[in-house]
């Protein structure tokens, strides 16, 4: 009985570590890939403004309001190494990602540590009458054949919700900046 209880406790502890992103199981066997997104938006702001809204907390100073969700560990002129903290239920998941910036049309994310062994994502920004065409897409990969696929399906839904919430914030701030710029241009 003690052995079973110990095994269950170890499994539960392992589960919590994986969910929190503290333990990444990268076995290299039975890899299953699934798409993330797409999330598409028309943002009423120029692509340069949208790009600046996304890049600012990574390449510049991270605002205090984001300290609970973003910690930039290293930054350069076109790349950052950052930890993203996302609350999922009662646990906080920490992912560590590289973020590459190709001004003004592309931001690429590559997972280094998290609840799955493989995630690549992009934000594509293109000019469109009245603003920017924004497209998020990505790929999430898990190991372990069907069990890994099951786990990937559990991770993908909250992952996409977190990205959607981030895109909502990006859109709101970019459109606010575009309105402020237009209002300033109209003043004598």
pLDDT class for 20, splitting at 50, 70, 90? Answer: very low
The residue ranking higher by pLDDT, 93 or 72, is 72
Asked whether residue 82 carries a pLDDT value surpassing 50, the answer given is yes
**CA 107 from centroid of its chain's CA atoms:** 11
The residue ranking higher by pLDDT, 53 or 69, is 53
What mean pLDDT is predicted for residues 46-68?
93
- Of 92, 153, 156, 147, give the one whose Cα is nearest residue 121: 156
Asked whether residue 19 carries a pLDDT value surpassing 60, the answer given is no
The residue ranking higher by pLDDT, 5 or 96, is 96
Q: Could you report the per-residue pLDDT of 144-162, keeping only the tens digit for each?
A: 999 999 999 999 999 999 9
Taken in order of first residue, the domains within the chain and their CATH numbers are 2-186 (3.30.530.20)
Helix (H) or strand (E) holding 100: strand 91-102
Question: Exposure string (b/e) for 31-40, b if CB count within 10 Å is 16 or more?
Answer: bbeeebbebe
Question: Residue 6: what pLDDT?
Answer: 53
Lowest-pLDDT choice from 16-20, 37-41, 115-119, 146-150? 16-20
Identify the burial level of 45 via C-beta atoms within 10 angstroms of its C-beta, where 0-12 means exposed, 13-18 middle and 19 or more buried: buried
Asked whether residue 76 carries a pLDDT value surpassing 80, the answer given is yes
- Of 156, 151, 158, give the one whose Cα is nearest residue 35: 156
Asked whether residue 37 carries a pLDDT value surpassing 50, the answer given is yes
Asked whether residue 40 carries a pLDDT value surpassing 70, the answer given is yes
Q: Where are the alpha helices (DSSP H) in the chain?
A: 2-20, 47-59, 145-186
Q: What percent of the chain has pLDDT over 70?
A: 86
For the entire predicted model, the pTM comes to 0.86
Residues constituting the chain:
188
């Amino acid at each position: 009985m003690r052995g079973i209880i110990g095994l269950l406790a170890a499994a539960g502890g392992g589960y919590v570590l994986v969910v929190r992103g503290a333990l990444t199981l990268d076995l290299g066997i039975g890899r299953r890939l699934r798409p993330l997104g797409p999330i598409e938006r028309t943002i009423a702001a120029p692509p340069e403004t949208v790009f600046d809204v996304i890049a600012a907390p990574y390449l510049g100073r991270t605002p205090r309001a984001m300290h609970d969700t973003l910690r930039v560990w290293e930054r350069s002129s076109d790349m950052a190494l950052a930890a993203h903290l996302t609350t999922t239920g009662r646990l906080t998941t920490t992912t560590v990602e590289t973020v590459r910036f190709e001004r003004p049309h592309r931001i690429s994310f590559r997972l280094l540590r998290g609840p799955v062994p493989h995630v690549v994502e992009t934000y594509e920004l293109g000019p469109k009458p009245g603003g920017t065409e924004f497209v998020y897409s990505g790929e999430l990969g898990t190991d372990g054949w069907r069990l890994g696929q099951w786990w990937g399906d559990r991770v993908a839904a909250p992952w996409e919700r977190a990205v959607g919430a981030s895109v909502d914030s990006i859109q709101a701030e970019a459109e606010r900046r575009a309105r402020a710029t237009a209002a300033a241009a109209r003043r004598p």
